[in-house]
Amino acid sequence: MKRSDVFGRCLLACVLLLGATASAYAQLPGAIFTTLSDGTRVNANIYSAKCGVSGVWLDGGPGPNAPQGAAGLPDGDYYFQVTDPSGKTLLSTDAVMFRQIHVSAGIISGLSGAGNHNTSFDVDHGAVTIELCPFNDTPNPGGVYKAWVTPIAQFLGDPTKVDSPNASCKNGCFHGFVPAFSKTDNFKVGSGPGAACLTVWKNIDVDGNGLRNSPPDYSTPWPVTITDPLGASNTFFTPFGTGKDVCTFAQLVPGLYSLTEATTNGSGNFILTSNRLDGKYLTSGGYPDTTVQIRIKDASTHELVFGNAPR
């Protein structure tokens, strides 16, 4: 057995809990996220209102902390929806055909088809932002919602209807949206108890010993993909700084999440040397897996650090 195989299996045994496999990862690249109407990011994805300029707007393309040239969504047409974080309760109130957007050059360029939601402009990277309203209040006690996009070609159901259950879905889709082909982003409206915040850092392990440098040498941006308990994934980029006050992934509700770091940030070749969660090394030295699984249990703050050494 290869040494890399041994360490990969060891990691899965050492991580908090076993769960999602590689087959759960979405086949759709790029990212979506929520912003204010002008593309301004809201700390921890917590909004003061559902609708209006201070409400929740859909954005897509280079994600938070990403360079302008970072890969965006594949060009084409998409449907979007809002649900509770479990995906079981559809909260969007208009027909699917009216929730239709077009992506060009990796960013949302506007509504398409019969789309009739309000639009604005992301001053950061030029995308068109789409108001998610109208949608109902979430039944989630923490006030958490989930925004989805899926390619029209992957949608299952009748887009002329508000809800599109499809017999062929069985348990494999949510209102016609298949998680494996969708992007999602959780957000919260209002104050009070929230959901978990996970900050992900990239530590350049210059000596390759798998231990944290002192002071740490953090690199940004570095792509990290998260797959949620439903099997939908999204890719974001590691932030600047060394604190826990920046949520790379916000509003995580309880469940098992998989996180995968890219093998490089585009500047060179690196080898993973360690994974550390909340100060505890899951692995150190050798060849740990680029994917870790973490079970979120409550509204808490966590920090995950991937250590990489230049080849």
Q: What would the mean pLDDT of 78-91 be, rounded to a whole number?
A: 97
Cα(308)–Cα(220) distance, integer angstroms: 13
pLDDT for the residue 39: 92
Copy the structure tokens of residue 299. Answer: 């509204």
Residue 26 lies in a domain: no
Could you say which of 150, 165, 189 is where a domain stops?
189
pLDDT digits (tens, 9 = 90+) for 123-178: 888 899 999 999 999 999 999 999 999 999 999 999 999 998 776 777 689 999 99
Percent of residues, the chain, with pLDDT higher than 70: 82
150 with 268, same domain: the answer is no
pLDDT for the residue 242: 56
Residue 52 lies in a domain: yes
273 with 173, same domain: the answer is no
Could you say which of 127, 159, 189 is where a domain stops?
189
pLDDT for the residue 12: 31
Cα(276)–Cα(93) distance, integer angstroms: 42
Given a contact cutoff of 8 angstroms between Cβ atoms, the answer to whether 136 and 93 are in contact is: yes
Higher-confidence residue of 113 and 37: namely 37
Residue 286 lies in a domain: yes
Number of domains in the chain: 2
Residue 242 lies in a domain: yes
Pick from 199, 224, 255: which is nearest to 85 by CA? 255
214 with 252, same domain: the answer is yes
Higher-confidence residue of 67 and 261: namely 261
Residue 47 lies in a domain: yes
pLDDT for the residue 43: 83
pLDDT for the residue 217: 67
pLDDT for the residue 215: 61
Cα(296)–Cα(302) distance, integer angstroms: 9
179 with 214, same domain: the answer is no
pLDDT for the residue 114: 86
What is the H or E stretch that residue 296 is in?
Answer: strand 291-296
pLDDT for the residue 285: 58
73 with 124, same domain: the answer is yes
140 with 55, same domain: the answer is yes
180 with 306, same domain: the answer is no
141 with 274, same domain: the answer is no
What is the H or E stretch that residue 69 is in?
Answer: none
Given a contact cutoff of 8 angstroms between Cβ atoms, the answer to whether 32 and 45 are in contact is: no
pLDDT for the residue 71: 67
Under the banding of pLDDT at 50, 70 and 90, the label for residue 9 is very low
pLDDT for the residue 25: 36
166 with 267, same domain: the answer is no
Residue 101 lies in a domain: yes
Q: What is the domain extent for residue 242?
A: 3-21+195-310
Residue 289 lies in a domain: yes
Cα(293)–Cα(132) distance, integer angstroms: 31
Choice among 131-145, 268-282, 292-306 with the minimum mean pLDDT = 268-282
pLDDT for the residue 204: 81
Partners of residue 200 on adjacent β-strands: 304
DSSP per residue, 167-225: TTTTTS-BTTB-GGG-EEEEEEESSSS--EEEEEEEEE-TT-SSS--SS--B----EEE
Q: What are phi and psi of 63, to 5 degrees?
A: -80, 180
Copy the structure tokens of residue 157. Answer: 């159901």
Under the banding of pLDDT at 50, 70 and 90, the label for residue 214 is low
132 with 209, same domain: the answer is no
Could you say which of 162, 189, 216 is where a domain stops?
189
Choice among 145-159, 207-221, 258-272 with the minimum mean pLDDT = 207-221
pLDDT for the residue 101: 97
Pick from 230, 166, 223: which is nearest to 200 by CA? 223
Given the structure tokens 């309203």, which residue do they identify? Answer: 133
DSSP per residue, 120-181: EE-TTT-PEEEE--SBPPP--TT-EEEEEEEEGGG--S-TTSSS---TTTTTS-BTTB-GGG
pLDDT digits (tens, 9 = 90+) for 13-70: 333 332 333 333 335 788 899 999 999 988 889 999 999 999 999 998 877 777 766 7
Q: Is 96 helix (H, G, I), strand (E, B) or coil?
A: helix
pLDDT for the residue 194: 76
Over the chain, what is the mean pLDDT? 83
Given a contact cutoff of 8 angstroms between Cβ atoms, the answer to whether 60 and 33 are in contact is: yes
Residue 84 lies in a domain: yes
Under the banding of pLDDT at 50, 70 and 90, the label for residue 260 is very high
Domain with 287 in it: what CATH number?
Answer: 2.60.40.10
Under the banding of pLDDT at 50, 70 and 90, the label for residue 89 is very high
153 with 43, same domain: the answer is yes
Pairing of strands 183-189, 46-47: parallel
158 with 206, same domain: the answer is no
